Amino acid sequence: MVGGTVQVTPPTPPHPLPPSVGPLPPRAGYPAHMHGDIERILIDRERIAARVHELGEQIARDLVAELGREGSSPEASQRIVLVPVMVGSIIFLADLMRELPMKLSLGLVAVSSYPGQCLKSKGATIRGELPSDLAGKHVLIIDDILDSGRTLGLVRSLIMEQKPASCRICVLLDKQTERAVNVRADYVGFTIPDAFVVGYGLDYAGHYRNLADIGVLRVEDA
């Protein structure tokens, strides 16, 4: 368009916050046939977005302070590497990294721990390669959920072998359950009860990652 008037769409009014825990309301983002599979929403999209924003601010502050303590120049933020654990962290990663206003890079790691239709981790296995250039870098491992601790325990120990300058862990969800491996996350979005959750990147047998909220999967009695 040349020399015309730019039409600006008025902002939509803020969506009223629904109760954080409740039955699944008929909202955009849920194909009708998926409704019955979700018992209830645990964390809705508005709460997720607000918390991811807070996490981003906190992480950015800590990274800037850390680089400042080292006396590094502003360009030193090039040494910040996010290591997202694929596939579950993709949506969290996409939102969180846009809250980090600094120069950084990504090094993906793929881990599988729930073969087929399983609700309990069967042990973590690295699929493919781990980023190999992490010596001297400030690494932030990002995952969707900390459960038994096997996944993050494995990823963290392999990264530590490379002698990064620092290595922190950020998870969106910390499940209150017994850990098989002792791992503590430095940044936690939400602490949740011991239930199997899906949505916002989290799956069951490969499905439900595209749900915009986080819900508890309905488990049929055997």
Report the catalytic residues: 147
Residues in contact with 70: Cβ distance below 8 Å, sequence separation at least 6, in sequence order? 76, 165
Which of ligand IMP, Mg ion, none has residue 145 at its interface (CB below 5 to 8 Å by kind)? Answer: ligand IMP
**Where in 107-136 is the site for ligand IMP (CB under 6 A)?**
113-114, 121, 124
Q: What does each C-alpha distance from 160 to 168, 171, 214 come to in angstroms?
A: 10, 18, 31
- Nearest-angstrom CA–CA distance, 38 and 33: 10
**Where in 148-177 is the site for ligand IMP (CB under 6 A)?**
148-151, 175
Burial class (CB in 10 A: 0-12, 13-18, 19+), 90: middle
> Is 145 among the residues that bind ligand IMP (CB under 6 A)?
yes
Residue 5 Cβ vs Mg ion, minimum distance, rounded to whole Å: 48
> Is 88 among the residues that bind Mg ion (CB under 5 A)?
yes
Residue 184 Cβ vs ligand IMP, minimum distance, rounded to whole Å: 12
| Helix residue ranges, H only, 79-165 | 90-97, 150-160
In this complex, which beta carbon is closest to ligand IMP, that of residue 79 or of residue 147? 147
Instruction: Look up residue 105 and give its two tokens.
Output: 């890079």
Instruction: Look up residue 115 and give its two tokens.
Output: 């073969």
* Residue ranges binding ligand IMP (CB under 6 A): 85, 88, 113-114, 121, 124, 143-151, 175, 196-198, 202-203
